[in-house]
Chains A and B, each alone.
Chain A
Amino acid sequence: TQLLEQSPQFLSIQEGENLTVYCNSSSVFSSLQWYRQEPGEGPVLLVTVVTGGEVKKLKRLTFQFGDARKDSSLHITAAQPGDTGLYLCAGGKGGGSNYKLTFGKGTLLTVNP
């Protein structure tokens, strides 16, 4: 069972365009993370959101956590070729030794010059 659904799976846009990718679940998470992974490298953490309705901005990237803490979105303004990569969301549940992070399958973004 895939707990986190990411959409779209693939996205190819031109430099300067805006885009939004989504991460949806029927489960409630205590926190949600967004990572970016470049080809041949490990994922790099972009942001963690923990409060329902929270919005965080990181330069041209805006992250939102749904009010019910079941979904999240990532909006990129004026995309650049350097934004190209696999964007992964991950939801955290449990505590202590029972804590688990579940990853979505990712959105592969290509920004063409």
Chain B
Amino acid sequence: DVKVTQSSRYLVKRTGEKVFLECVQDMDHENMFWYRQDPGLGLRLIYFSYDVKMKEKGDIPEGYSVSREKKERFSLILESASTNQTSMYLCASSPHKAPDTQYFGPGTRLTVL
């Protein structure tokens, strides 16, 4: 079974802090994604990556950056956290041959005070 793990299930940070969210997948997938999920807004794509060291902006990249130094790991960085970044963050991965078959991690519930 594909396994996507995220470093924390719950995280509480203060405004202005730098926040790192880590995601690791164990199925050698080329594609990795970061979404945020908010009530009434659904899942929105922040950034994605189709290969190591490659990154592409999604629909809402402002205030975020990402890093993909190794194939299995995709990190989301909030350079200076703000209260409007309080959300559920979901990481997903998929293989090149089936990009629509995305496997999600359990999510990180981030609260910025």
B72-113 CB contact bits vs A (8 Å, 1 = yes)?
Answer: 000000000000000000101000000111111111010000
Are the CB atoms of A88 and B100 closer together than 8 Å?
Answer: no
Alpha-carbon distance between A23 and B74 when the two chains are bound, in angstroms: 30
A41 touches B100 (CB 8 A): no
CA distance A43 to B33 in the complex (A): 13
The reply to whether A48 and B100 contact each other, CB–CB distance below 8 Å, is yes
Q: Which residue of B lies closest to A104 (CB)?
A: B42
Interface size class of B (residues with CB under 8 A): 20 to 34
* Interface hub of A42, A43, A45, A101 (most chain B Cβ within 10 A): A42
State whether A92 touches B100 (Cβ < 8 A).
yes
| Docked-complex contact B99 and A45, CB < 8 angstroms | no
> Interface size bucket, A side?
20 to 34
B50 touching A41, Cβ below 8 Å: no
Nearest-neighbor residue (CB-CB) of B42 within chain A: A105
* A92–B104 CB distance below 8 A: no
Per-residue interface assignment for chain A, residues 65 to 108, with 1 indicating a CB less than 8 Å from any chain B CB and 0 otherwise: 00000000000000000000000101010001101110111100
Q: Which residues of B contact A (CB under 8 A)?
A: 4, 9, 35, 40-43, 45, 50, 54, 56, 90, 92, 99-107, 109
